[in-house]
Amino acid sequence: MGLLDVLRGKFVDPTHYPSVHEGGDIITTRLDAVVKWGRKSSLWPMPFGTACCAIEFMALSASHYDLARFGAEVLRFSPRQADLLFVAGTIVDKEAPVLKMIYDQMPEPKWVISMGVCASTGGFYRSYHVMQGIDEIIPVDVYVPGCPPAPESLIAAVMKIQERIQNGQQAKSAQRAQKLGSPGDAWIDRRSRRDAWGKEDSERAAQGLPPGGVLPLVPEAPKKEDHHG
Amino acid sequence: MASATEVPARPAYLDRPAVRILTEALGAERVTHVSDWRGDLAITVKRDAWVKAASLLKTHSELDFRMFLDLCASDYLDNRDDRYEVVLHLYSISKKHHVRLKTTVPEADATIDTLCGVFKGANWFEREAWDLYGVVFKGHPNLSRILTHDDFVGHPMRKDFPTGRRFVNKKTKEWLLQVPPDSEHPVVNIGPSHPAMHGTFRIQAVMDGETIQDAEAEIGYMHRNFEKMAESRTYWQIIPYTDRLNYCSSFMNGHGWALAVEKLLGIQAPPRAEAIRVILSELSRIMDHYVCIGTNVVDLGAITPFFVLFRVREEIYELLEACCGARLTVSYVRIGGLAADVPDDFEARCRKLVDSIRQYTLQADKLLTRNPIFNRRFRDVGALGKDDCLEYGWVGPCLRGSGIAYDIRKDHPYSGYEQYDFDVPVGTVGDCYDRYLVRMAEIEQSLRIIEQALGKLPKGPVIVDDKTVALPPKDKVYTNIEALMNHFKLVYDGILPPQGEVYGYTEAANGELGYYIVSDGKKCPWRVKVRPPCFNIYQAFPQMIKGGLLADAVAIIGGLNIIAGELDR
């Protein structure tokens, strides 16, 4: 099998299949096809694991299921080094600003997998302190159902992300905002909640301030008297 | 009709030492109520005698209730004269008995004196009771929100607080510690999103070079309202929620819940169900210890033991999957038994699994126990003395690591643990290395229990034959009108326990997992309080790391095995 056969089908557009020049050691293709191919085959995930799903995520990254087979074994615990955010576990309101900051700190292009029903919709925690799906605050590319999802479905999600990368797709805004629960105090209006996040942030942005849910990246240095004066 | 002269016999529990001593010391008018229902001694005292009663229970040599288990509040709305109740659970290691001390707090003046001066462990529990119920603890050093966020308004566990009312929180609390602005010592913030903090814990430490001068912890990043949800669920609907408390060993939580509800109902599961529960609980304990040891050493930079231990965890998963269809969150127990019988090849698979666990544990043992780097990171790090352990209410492997041989399976056997021969491993110093060794030794003891239980696995049904508790078999429901009616009645009405309250406790992987259930006779419990082992253990963490190196804090937290789902509920 020649190099061409190996690479055939790896790139996005069938009209831009690589062609091999004389001797077989030079290949031409489109740059973005190569870039996307490289990106999808070397995902660096950041596991934002909070609960039960994180245990299954560990199982995914451990020896039996071995995420390394998909080129995504380099787990980074710093968002600045990662391009795939795994939100594994329930996100509660107290955790929300942390998650938002982590997402904002990731460099573009970035993708988000919402693992499990808690991260996707709040799951069976319809309650006073649980975020009813992380898409209230950050966009999500792939939702994985299950409580917790089996590692196989996570592998499917990673493959789905690879497909999206190849197709150049990315979730740009929070999706699937809808009302949940019965009317009254228990009514959870995800759209209005999401808008509340977004609206105030745009006002703050107009004043040149960082978004409201985001901690200042560098804590203010304590003011000191000048000793040398 | 009873004649007027007939005096009911004086109940024997009024002569129990705790009742006698409290009545003598406080005066009979301050001890307002005593009961001994389902074997739980409960004493209600007046609010002004609260601190005195608690300290008397702790210090009196005949009682010796030195182990702090749990403190919580409950809300009774208009059902009682005083709206709130504060409940304290204590245990005595030397006398091996429990007590529940209660007092009532009126709505108009919802205050009570703090117990922080009596038990160190009361601190966080009182903060939680204030956060969730708004009962003010006078004299508390730091009465601030602990589980909910700072923008939260109101006290969510009150019965008149709507379950779904949320408040947006956009900013994490920036400083946990008060540091003078001209301080030379930097503050290091660790977590909640930090690999060693496992996503949900947060520590701030004031550093002096590499040494931690002062530290403060914050929790609540995983508070997903188990207790509030439980108040609107029937007793069996709560089983899936319990699975997600300590999700590393979810079967054991359900086991504990089923036992607590069975205690409330006054029933017992059939022997076969109990034996299977024991086997699966011990397998879960092994899984839990594997996660603890595996992730602990990953935090220290050694990834090979993690791969070794997770390989065999997969095999345990496979067995659980064969039993109930789920890998992690099993929901396999039912009130009064199990959801279904185990597969036919269960015994053979179990025996194979036991061999495999032995082999992999030995491999991990070879990698770690005599490893010089591991030894240097673990030995003499994070030791906690026996007295502090009891004051904070430490339980499980952490308590046994400090040299106190308290194991509920031995001291208060349940589910037939008294039939099995096993040892309770204890440590000597109470450092990280001891806790590690205790866990490794417990894996072997669990295997011994499993082998014995497999050897005499009884035949018979796996759920009680009681139409008010257990659903009838499906084949009967489809063919028999009576079974169909029973099925309908039970699904529609739920299990209806008698009015009353119980405290059911089991030895979970991290220690004593207690459920304090208050039933008002309806299909949903009035109040469920989990006594989570991690909450007590983590509370001591800031104190343990003071004076140590920052790198040691990472080694300590992994060895304590704090599970967020259980810590914050």
Three-class secondary structure assignment of B532-556: CHHHHHHHCHHHHHCCCEHHHHHHH
Query: Quick one: three-class SS letters along B363-432?
Result: HHHHHHCCCHHHHHHHCCCCCCCHHHHHHHCCCHHHHHHCCCCCCHHHHCCCCCHHHCCCCCCCCCCCCH
Domain boundary among A125, A154, A171: A171
- Best of B201, B244, B245 to mutate (most A CBs within 10 Å, chain A): B244
Could you tell me the CA-to-CA distances from B19 to B45, B63, B72, B141 in Å, in that order?
11, 10, 21, 31
Quick one: tokens of B427? 């440590």
- Say yes or no: B231 and B380 in one domain: yes
Q: How far is A199 from chain B (nearest CA, A)?
A: 13
Judged by CB atoms closer than 8 Å, whether chains meet at A124 and B182 is answered as: no
Domain boundary among B138, B164, B186: B138
Q: How far is B526 from chain A (nearest CA, A)?
A: 17
Q: How far is the C-alpha of B499 from the C-alpha of B434, rounded, in Å?
A: 44
- Say yes or no: A59 and A164 in one domain: yes
Q: Could you give the ipTM of this predicted complex?
A: 0.86
Handedness of CA B118, B124, B127, B131 (dihedral sign): negative
The domain of B476 spans 226-568
Give the tens place of pLDDT for each residue, A125-143: 888 888 888 877 888 888 9
Judged by CB atoms closer than 8 Å, whether chains meet at A62 and B307 is answered as: yes
Instruction: Give pLDDT, residue B100.
Output: 92
Q: How far is the C-alpha of B178 from the C-alpha of A193, rounded, in Å?
A: 33
Interface of A with B in 110-129 (CB under 8 A): 118, 124-129
**Where do the DSSP E strands lie in B128-284?**
136-138, 187-190, 202-208, 211-218
Do the domain assignments include residue B220?
no
Judged by CB atoms closer than 8 Å, whether chains meet at B247 and A147 is answered as: no
Do the domain assignments include residue A228?
no
How many CB atoms sit inside 10 A of residue B81's CB? 8
Do the domain assignments include residue A199?
no
Identity of the residue numbered B503: Y
Interface of A with B in 149-178 (CB under 8 A): 150
Do the domain assignments include residue B192?
no
Instruction: Give pLDDT, residue A5.
Output: 59
Which bin fits A133, alpha (ψ -120 to 50), beta or left (φ > 0)?
left
- pLDDT values of chain B reduced to their tens digit, one per residue, 569 residues: 445 566 677 777 777 888 888 888 888 888 888 888 888 889 999 998 899 999 988 988 888 898 899 999 999 888 888 889 999 999 998 888 899 999 999 988 889 999 988 998 899 999 999 999 989 999 988 888 888 888 888 888 888 888 877 777 877 887 888 877 788 888 888 878 887 777 688 888 888 888 898 888 888 888 988 898 898 889 988 999 998 888 888 899 999 999 999 999 999 999 999 999 999 999 999 999 998 998 888 888 888 888 888 888 889 999 999 988 888 888 899 998 898 889 999 999 999 999 999 999 999 999 988 989 888 888 888 888 888 888 888 888 999 988 888 999 988 999 889 999 999 999 888 888 999 999 999 999 999 999 999 988 999 899 998 888 988 888 888 999 999 999 998 888 889 999 999 999 999 988 889 999 999 888 899 999 999 898 999 988 888 888 888 888 888 888 888 888 888 88
CATH number at residue B347: 1.10.645.10
Q: Which residues of A78-98 are buried (b: 16+ CB within 10 A; e: fewer)?
A: ebeebbbbbbbbbbbbbbbbb
- Say yes or no: B128 and B238 in one domain: no
The answer to whether A210 faces chain B, any CB pair under 8 Å, is: no
Do the domain assignments include residue A212?
no
- Say yes or no: A53 and A83 in one domain: yes
- Say yes or no: A76 and A106 in one domain: yes
Q: How far is A114 from chain B (nearest CA, A)?
A: 15
Residues of chain B in contact with residue A90, where contact means CB-CB under 8 angstroms, are 222, 224
- Say yes or no: B231 and B96 in one domain: no
Do the domain assignments include residue B327?
yes
Instruction: State the DSSP code for A219.
Output: P
Which residue in A49, A97, A197 is closest to B199 by CB distance?
Answer: A49
Do the domain assignments include residue A201?
no
- Say yes or no: A107 and A160 in one domain: yes
- Say yes or no: B397 and B496 in one domain: yes
Which residue in A130, A148, A186 is closest to B225 by CB distance?
Answer: A130
Radius of gyration for chain A, computed over Cα atoms and rounded to the nearest angstrom: 21
- How much is the pTM? 0.86
Which bin fits A84, alpha (ψ -120 to 50), beta or left (φ > 0)?
beta
- Best of B171, B200, B238, B363 to mutate (most A CBs within 10 Å, chain A): B200
- Say yes or no: B132 and B232 in one domain: no
Q: Count the domains in chain B.
A: 2
Do the domain assignments include residue A195?
no
CATH number at residue A76: 3.40.50.12280
The answer to whether B228 faces chain A, any CB pair under 8 Å, is: yes
Instruction: Give pLDDT, residue B529.
Output: 92
Instruction: Give the pLDDT band (50/70/90) at residue A20.
Output: low
Q: How far is the C-alpha of B342 from the C-alpha of B322, rounded, in Å?
A: 8
Judged by CB atoms closer than 8 Å, whether chains meet at A93 and B564 is answered as: no
Which residue in B164, B172, B182 is closest to A187 by CB distance?
Answer: B164
The answer to whether B37 faces chain A, any CB pair under 8 Å, is: no
Judged by CB atoms closer than 8 Å, whether chains meet at A52 and B199 is answered as: no
Secondary structure of residue A73 in the 3-state scheme: coil
Q: How far is the C-alpha of B104 from the C-alpha of B73, rounded, in Å?
A: 9
- Say yes or no: A106 and A56 in one domain: yes
Instruction: Give the pLDDT band (50/70/90) at residue A225.
Output: low
Do the domain assignments include residue A156?
yes
The answer to whether B291 faces chain A, any CB pair under 8 Å, is: yes
Q: How far is the C-alpha of B569 from the C-alpha of B223, rounded, in Å?
A: 5
Instruction: Give pLDDT, residue B285.
Output: 92
Instruction: Give pLDDT, residue A183.
Output: 40
- Say yes or no: A105 and A160 in one domain: yes
Q: How far is B160 from chain A (nearest CA, A)?
A: 11
Q: How far is A70 from chain B (nearest CA, A)?
A: 18
Judged by CB atoms closer than 8 Å, whether chains meet at B247 and A92 is answered as: no
Which residue in B165, B248, B295 is closest to A185 by CB distance?
Answer: B165
Q: How far is the C-alpha of A199 from the C-alpha of A222, rounded, in Å?
A: 31
Do the domain assignments include residue B556?
yes
Do the domain assignments include residue B448?
yes
Residues of chain B in contact with residue A124, where contact means CB-CB under 8 angstroms, are 229, 240-241
- Say yes or no: B131 and B240 in one domain: no
Q: How far is the C-alpha of B248 from the C-alpha of B498, rounded, in Å?
A: 33
Instruction: Give the pLDDT band (50/70/90) at residue A178.
Output: very low
Q: How far is B149 from chain A (nearest CA, A)?
A: 5
Which residue in A48, A52, A213 is closest to B565 by CB distance?
Answer: A52
Q: Which residues contact B1 (CB under 8 A, 6 or more apart)?
A: none
Interface of B with A in 149-168 (CB under 8 A): 149, 152, 156, 161-168
- Say yes or no: A21 and A84 in one domain: no
* CA geometry: angle B391, B397, B403, nearest 5 deg: 65
Q: How far is B4 from chain A (nearest CA, A)?
A: 53
Do the domain assignments include residue A219?
no
- Say yes or no: A151 and A63 in one domain: yes
Give the chain B residue whose CA is nearest to the CA of A200.
Answer: B170
Could you tell me the CA-to-CA distances from B544 to B415, B540, B559 in Å, in that order?
35, 6, 12
- Say yes or no: B114 and B244 in one domain: no
The domain of A9 spans 3-39
Q: How far is A195 from chain B (nearest CA, A)?
A: 12
What is the residue whose two structure tokens read 């790198």? B551
* CA geometry: angle B407, B536, B104, nearest 5 deg: 105
Which residue in A96, A127, A130 is closest to B169 by CB distance?
Answer: A96
The answer to whether B171 faces chain A, any CB pair under 8 Å, is: yes
Q: Count the domains in chain A.
A: 2
Secondary structure of residue A218 in the 3-state scheme: coil
Judged by CB atoms closer than 8 Å, whether chains meet at A89 and B171 is answered as: no
- Say yes or no: A26 and A134 in one domain: no
Output the average pLDDT for chain A: 73
Do the domain assignments include residue B188?
no
- Say yes or no: A61 and A26 in one domain: no
Judged by CB atoms closer than 8 Å, whether chains meet at A94 and B171 is answered as: no
Which residue in A98, A147, A181 is closest to B164 by CB distance?
Answer: A181
- Say yes or no: A72 and A160 in one domain: yes
Instruction: State the DSSP code for B16.
Output: S
The answer to whether A97 faces chain B, any CB pair under 8 Å, is: yes
**DSSP per residue, B284-324:** HHHHHHHHHHHHHHHHTT--HHHHHHHHHHHHHHHHHHHHH
- Say yes or no: A87 and A141 in one domain: yes
- Say yes or no: B132 and B234 in one domain: no
Do the domain assignments include residue B247?
yes
The answer to whether B194 faces chain A, any CB pair under 8 Å, is: yes
The answer to whether A222 faces chain B, any CB pair under 8 Å, is: yes
Do the domain assignments include residue A229?
no
Do the domain assignments include residue B197?
no
The answer to whether A183 faces chain B, any CB pair under 8 Å, is: no
The answer to whether A227 faces chain B, any CB pair under 8 Å, is: no
Judged by CB atoms closer than 8 Å, whether chains meet at A186 and B306 is answered as: no
Give the chain B residue whose CA is nearest to the CA of A223.
Answer: B181
Quick one: tokens of B432? 């990280």
The answer to whether A54 faces chain B, any CB pair under 8 Å, is: yes
Q: Which residue has the higher pLDDT, B542 or A198?
A: B542
Size of interface A-B (CB pairs under 8 A): 166
- Best of A124, A129, A200, A226 to mutate (most B CBs within 10 Å, chain B): A129
Domain boundary among B78, B103, B138: B138
Domain boundary among B74, B103, B138: B138
Q: Which residue has the higher pLDDT, A204 or B469?
A: B469
CATH number at residue B25: 3.30.460.80
